[in-house]
Amino acid sequence: MLEKFMKTALRTALSFLGLTLIAAATPVLAQNTYPNKSIRLIVPFAPGGVTDTSGRLIAEQLSRRIGQSIIVENKAGASGNIGAAMVANSEPDGYTLVLGFDGTIVINPHVFTSMPLDTLKDLTPIGKIGETILILLAYPKFEAQTLQEVIALSKQPGQVINFGSSGVASPQHIAVELLNQRTGSKLVHVPYKGGGQAMIDVQAGVIPLVFTAVAGGLPHVKSGRLKAIAVSSEKRASSLPDVPTFIESGIKDFVASGWVGIFAPTKVPRPVIDYLNKELNAVLSAPDVIARLNTLGIEASPGTPEKFSKEIAADFKRYGDVIKAAGIKAE
């Protein structure tokens, strides 16, 4: 009887041990088999813009590294909210991701009266692709030559110095409002429905200034149709090394560059996040990718999800304070 009891107890213990080992191995197995099918990368904007182009470049390069197709899908609407919400509500398995930029993630929550998602809680960053460098451009005959001259001119009685941007609550709009609040300048925002018409108007002298991405302004600076005043990134743009930063122009600690990155639903397993981050960083370290991003006005910025999260949190507060002080609301 005792021998039978011992055999039963031993079989039970071995069975329990086996189940425990299987359970412990499951995350490792899940990590080792991911990805085993195509991944969807949602771009929450129309095709053809800098954000869309950068997303397609990264998708192409990343798919080569992971051995699975990354299918780019454009889901435009509500300044990126529709596509971002779609991903936030998707299955958190790492097979549906979203290309996020600062406007959607850290600006929209402050300017839309109703949001379909909580961008900080419902999405988790995989990694930042890069910084989108912004540049202040002027009509060639505009009398100010430097940023300090622009600021001083805007403060003169009777002067109305307009600047164009791609729209109300765009990152460019928020950046100049930050400049106004920091320096006391009185630059007046003229919103356009997209940056194309703003670029046409500043070249024609309809407005004296436009604040835009370097990629859009670069050809016009090179041709002499526009003059560059300053870039608002921390470092000079590699494509325009002679153009000073706002900091070099006397605005202490002023950095207002945009950014673009890849996000997943919050409950995606951490091993999947780490895997994608490692592969993304490898892509962003390739010289040909760095060069291609530079042509889009984006400086590659590999890093950890934690570092990116801290930057997002800081931008969320900083831009939120600017938006509240300026009373900006999405139209």
Question: In degrees to the nearest 10, what's the CA dihedral of 41, 42, 44, 45?
Answer: 60
The closest alpha carbon to 215, from 237, 245, 198, belongs to 237
- In CATH, the number for domain 38-132+259-326 is 3.40.190.150
- Asked if 40 and 71 count as a contact pair (C-beta separation under 8 A), the reply is yes
**What global pTM score does this model have?**
0.84
Q: How far is it, in rounded angstroms, from Cα 38 to Cα 243?
A: 42
Domain ranges of the chain: 38-132+259-326, 134-231
Architecture of domain 134-231: 3-Layer(aba) Sandwich (3.40)
Chain segment 33-63, per-residue pLDDT in tens: 899 999 999 999 988 878 889 999 999 999 9
pLDDT tens string, the chain, 331 residues long: the values are: 435 444 444 454 444 444 444 444 434 434 468 999 999 999 999 888 788 899 999 999 999 999 999 999 999 999 999 999 999 999 999 999 999 999 999 999 999 999 999 999 999 999 999 998 899 999 999 999 999 999 999 999 999 999 999 889 989 999 999 999 999 999 999 998 877 889 999 999 999 999 998 888 999 999 999 999 999 998 898 889 999 999 999 999 899 988 999 999 999 999 999 999 999 999 999 999 999 998 888 999 999 999 999 999 999 999 999 999 999 998 6
Identical fold at 38-132+259-326 and 134-231? yes
- Asked if 147 and 136 count as a contact pair (C-beta separation under 8 A), the reply is yes
Q: How far is it, in rounded angstroms, from Cα 130 to Cα 257?
A: 10
DSSP string, 73-117: EE---GGGHHHHHHHHTS-SSSSEEEEEEHIIIIIHHHH-SS-SS
The closest alpha carbon to 182, from 316, 317, 326, belongs to 326
Three-class secondary structure of residue 194 per DSSP: coil
